[in-house]
Amino acid sequence: MNEPFKSGFISIVGRPNVGKSTLLNNIMEEKLVITSAKPQTTRNAIRCIYTDEYAQMVFIDTPGMHRPKNKLGDYMQKAAENTVSDVDAVLYLVEPETKIGPGDQYILEMLKNCGTPVILVINKIDLLPKEEILLTIAAYQKYDFLKCIIPISAAKGDGIKELLDAITKLLDPGPMFFPADMIIDQSERWIVQELIREKLLNLLKDEVPHGIAVEVTSMKPRKGKDIVDIEATIYCERKTHKGILIGKGGSMLTKIGSQARKDIEFFLKSKVNLQLWVKVRSDWRDSNFDLKELGYSE
């Protein structure tokens, strides 16, 4: 007798920079969400849809849980916390540490009271010896509300199949919420914005990238040509940041555009003419109007 088809929504939560977006890209076998070594790379709750013959899993990649420093931070924290009680399962990602710090203790208490089944996922197991991984597992085993503990390496793909099997077991029989060939609920324009922002995160240093937003102002296929013309504005909070973004003789902006264009062409499967502009938008991270204009509002 065939097993019934299952479906459900799964939130991925954890502290900044634990590998949530890397895990999701590995599950989807495609780069759909941006990654960076800098914390707080993800700003929105992003839904990616994984479908196989047994189940459809709608994964929600959330911003890293942290202590907010501005209204953008408040928005990101709420985006993460609001998902855990409205889903069918939660993947809680942690790094292999033998002591559970105050940040993870706070998240554990929140998850304990959310009423949603939780799978603890220990990421980056390729970076430490097996003995330390076992100590991490032991540290978390006292939290009996956790349904199971699964060690993985999101970067290398180790443990991903075991994780998907564990999620499938938790889900109830249900319908397919999205078409089988749909993999993300965001527009092409949004993904292009994020690919540009990823280059900013990776090429710029210190505080500058966190005060930057990207808006695609125009995106049109050129008539009769296999090329898409894209214009995008990069907003920063200070004039000094604008100078850093542009670089000497426009060198930094050229580098950002060149790297972003390659990823955008791969994503759109088309040649791209990318034009970037830089504008100052002072203290936009603390302006309700600017946050709404740039897509950071509930």
Per-domain boundaries in the chain: 6-170, 188-293
21 is in an annotated binding site: yes
Shared fold status for 6-170 and 188-293? no
User: Which DSSP letter does residue 284 get?
Assistant: G
How do residues 167-180 score in pLDDT, each as one tens digit?
999 999 999 999 99
Q: Is position 123 annotated in a ligand binding site? A: yes
CATH H-level superfamily of 6-170: P-loop containing nucleotide triphosphate hydrolases (3.40.50.300)
Range with the poorest average pLDDT among 4-8, 153-157, 160-164, 201-205: 201-205
Strands 227-236 and 55-61, by their bridges, are: unpaired
Q: What is the spatial distance between Cα 166 and Cα 10, in angstroms, rounded to a whole number?
A: 12
The answer on whether 279 is annotated among ligand-binding residues is no
Asked if residue 96 belongs to a known ligand binding site, the reply is no
pLDDT band for position 186 (cuts 50, 70, 90): confident
Predicted confidence (pLDDT) at residue 2 exceeds the cutoff of 80: no
pLDDT: which is higher, 1 or 137:
137
Residue 214 annotated in ligand binding = no
Q: Quote the CA–CA distance of 285 and 296 in Å, as a whole number.
A: 9
Is 61 known as a binding-site position?
yes
Residue 33 is labelled as binding a ligand: no
Is 181 assigned to a binding site?
no
For residue 137, say whether it is annotated as part of any ligand binding site. Answer: no
Crossing angle of helices 160-170 and 20-28, rounded to 10°:
90
Q: Tell me the pLDDT of the chain averaged across its residues.
A: 84
- Is 65 among the annotated ligand-binding positions? yes
Domain 188-293 part of CATH 3.20.20.20: no
* Confidence check: pLDDT of 1 > 70: no
